[in-house]
Structure 1
Amino acid sequence: MRQYPYLKPANSPFVDRFITKAGDLIEAWDGREAGDVGIVGVPLSKSSISHSGAAFAPGSIRKALRAFSTYSMEEDLDLNDVRITDFGDIQMHITDIMESQQRIERVLYEIFAGHRESLPIILGGDHSTSFPSISAFTKANGRVGIIQFDAHHDLRNLEDGGPSNGTPFRSLVEKNIIEGTQLVQIGIRDFSNSREYRDYADEQGVTVYTMKDVRERPIVELVNEGLKKLSDKVDAVYVSVDMDVLDQAHAPGCPAIGPGGMDSQTLLEAVSYLGGQTNVKAMDIVEIDPTVDFRDMTSRTAAHVILQFLKGKRIGGLL
């Protein structure tokens, strides 16, 4: 077969023999044992209160992982030997949100229970996906504590709109899957919630750190304090990262953008620290709409959230 110099397949990326891209670590699940990390896409956003294309986020986050290397300059460590299994995306029902949530819970339970040595990272979707995801994780792991990064409480009542991206933690409490004392919220923002839901959080024993707390105290101090509140109550900790915890300048691709939020470095520092904790066993990333993002900024930050989480695991000897 005839060949020509300097020709390569169309749209193929530049390759540097000395750099491993994070996306290169991902391999499609072959039906056998999963790798060190297992990612699952949960492309549901029809349950969003506001317009949202978050169903497209799992693909955009995977794409963003191909933009970064596996080497941490700050810690002088390389994640190039981490095996990441991609289980693919859970197929959503076209019109039935409740059916979609049931599918999420059923599939994720099978993955959580069947691949216990694999660290699960769930790619949403809107925040409604955390309800079936945490429900499944609880079935597989016992009492679960939650560290939630979010601008909103997500404790809305279920009467006004049914299960939505504003109700996942209300659903978990009201269905007795968790108690309020098993939930720690970080980054709750001014003019983004109501007194009724703050009162509900207080009544249920939810630990709430506002953005004022984040501004006035070191983020690792807050996270560690939250973990201590959970330590004697739970068997495992699940981290839920709603990307709208970030200021709109740092996350333009969130459906519910707003000023006064967290900067990306603060979130990355917190996630890296959480990765190093033995009892932190899973993470989800939600609320990115790639259709309104700017130069994939928000998906790229989400990719960094994953890498910082894995870096923390490696530093802690957990990966």
Structure 2
Amino acid sequence: MTLVCYQPPAVGNWQGRTDGEEPGVLRWHQVIRPVNLEREPLPALAQGQKGIAFLGFASDEGVRRNKGRTGAVEGPAALRKACSGFPVHFSGHILADAGTIACDGRQLEMAQDALAATVSHILGSGYLPVLFGGGHEITYGHEKGIRRFFGDKAQTGIINFDAHFDIREPDENGPSSGTGFWQIAQERQAEKIPFHYLALGIQQNSNTPKLFETAEAFGADHLPASLFQQKYHERLISAIQAFIQRTDHIYLTTCLDVFAAPYAPGVSATAYNGLVPDALFLDCFRTVLRSGKLAGTDIAELNPSLDQDQRTARLAASLVFETVMNYFTR
């Protein structure tokens, strides 16, 4: 497979404590399979076997265009490092590192096209793509790859845990980390395809009235951060389940700035009153993971240069762990 903007997996990204080689003490860095997609395919899956392919998207050009604090380009490497020491609580399935799509200079659109092609390739190999960002410009390429694989007739829903709609119309700087869902909505309208979009954790103080109006005009659904209280548990879960039922596949994206700043300081735009990654949030997150419709998922906006004590990286890694465990044990 010939790819532009592609970087093969680096062995040095997966290192950690080793307690032995027997199955009961293995960690992710001991079982991860690095695959250079330019030279070899992902390992063939046996009957009943599942595979997850990690793919990095090293870009913060979209954040720069969006006038944010850059540094998310280093997110994929930091997230791999944070995941390395996880214990292996699954057997018989394949965890692969498929490398990284890197934005060269300011060639964001080229990198997004390469990302879409690689995501489609991963799905075609029977693997679930789990992407490590990078800025939230990851959304446009990831969703495009999913749609390319399943075709326009499939009802692909987008669930976005985010403080922001990211549905802004591009300005003179072009597409950015804040325009991905606007771009997707425009393309779907042009092709007469339904735009199924659910944003969870939206902050009123982080979105202009025009963004709320744009979301409404596109028929997007959203649940504000203020609803993430235990007393609204049933309402949250019911809304997520109702949205999933209207779709054939789900693309799940999590922008780390949805979380409160003490839990996620390493993002471009922190939220003092963001979500708490507690049991309520995990119930919502797992509702998506356990739906049986997950077609791809990513973590966006991890900025190691702004992180403190690796809090944000560890939070992001915990979401990856949840994804792996729920997919392999479902």
Normalising by structure 2, we get a TM-score of 0.82
Q: Are residues 314 and 107 of structure 1, via their aligned partners in 2, closer, same or farther at CA, if it must alter by over 3 Å? A: closer
Aligned counterpart, 2:219 = 205
Choose which of 59, 67, 70 in structure 1 pairs with 2:85. 67
Give the Cα separation in 1 of the matches to 2:16 and 2:218.
51
Per-residue deviation at 1:41? Answer: 0.6
Letter in 2 for 1:154: D
Contact map agreement 1:180 1:205 (CA 8 A) in 2: no
Choose which of 13, 18, 22 in structure 2 pairs with 1:15. 18
Q: Are residues 23 and 190 of structure 1, via their aligned partners in 2, closer, same or farther at CA, if it must alter by over 3 Å? A: farther
Choose which of 146, 157, 163 in structure 2 pairs with 1:145. 157
Per-residue deviation at 1:163? Answer: 0.4
Matches within 5 A, 1:170-319: 170-176=182-188, 181-215=195-229, 217-219=231-233, 221-232=235-246, 234-265=247-278, 266-316=280-330
Give the aligned CA root-mean-square deviation in angstroms: 2.2
Q: Please list every run of 5 or more consecutive structure 2 residues that lacks an aligned counterpart in the other structure.
A: 1-14, 46-50
Contact map agreement 1:276 1:315 (CA 8 A) in 2: no
Letter in 2 for 1:16: D
Aligned counterpart, 2:96 = 85
Identity score, percent: 21
Contact map agreement 1:207 1:226 (CA 8 A) in 2: no
Give the Cα separation in 1 of the matches to 2:265 and 2:85.
19
Q: Please list every run of 5 or more consecutive structure 1 residues that lacks an aligned counterpart in the other structure.
A: 1-11, 71-77
Q: Are residues 14 and 183 of structure 1, via their aligned partners in 2, closer, same or farther at CA, if it must alter by over 3 Å? A: closer
Aligned counterpart, 1:37 = 52
Give the Cα separation in 2 of the matches to 1:307 and 1:97.
29
Runs of 4+ aligned structure 1 residues displaced above 4 Å come to 177-181, 216-221
1:164 aligns with 2:190: no
Give the Cα separation in 1 of the matches to 2:164 and 2:90.
33
Normalising by structure 1, we get a TM-score of 0.85
Letter in 1 for 2:117: R
Deviation string, structure 1 residues 253-281 (Cα, Å, up to 9, x no partner): 11111211111224433323322111122
1:52 aligns with 2:70: yes
Residue 191 of structure 1 aligns to a residue whose secondary structure is helix
Give the Cα separation in 2 of the matches to 1:66 and 1:278.
26
Residue 81 of structure 2 aligns to a residue whose secondary structure is helix
1:122 aligns with 2:131: yes
Give the Cα separation in 1 of the matches to 2:209 and 2:244.
25
Contact map agreement 1:245 1:262 (CA 8 A) in 2: yes
Choose which of 102, 120, 124 in structure 1 pairs with 2:113. 102
Give the Cα separation in 2 of the matches to 1:87 and 1:283.
15
Aligned counterpart, 1:4 = none
Deviation string, structure 1 residues 133-188 (Cα, Å, up to 9, x no partner): 10110111233101100000001111354200011001100122796750011000
Q: Are residues 137 and 29 of structure 1, via their aligned partners in 2, closer, same or farther at CA, if it must alter by over 3 Å? A: same
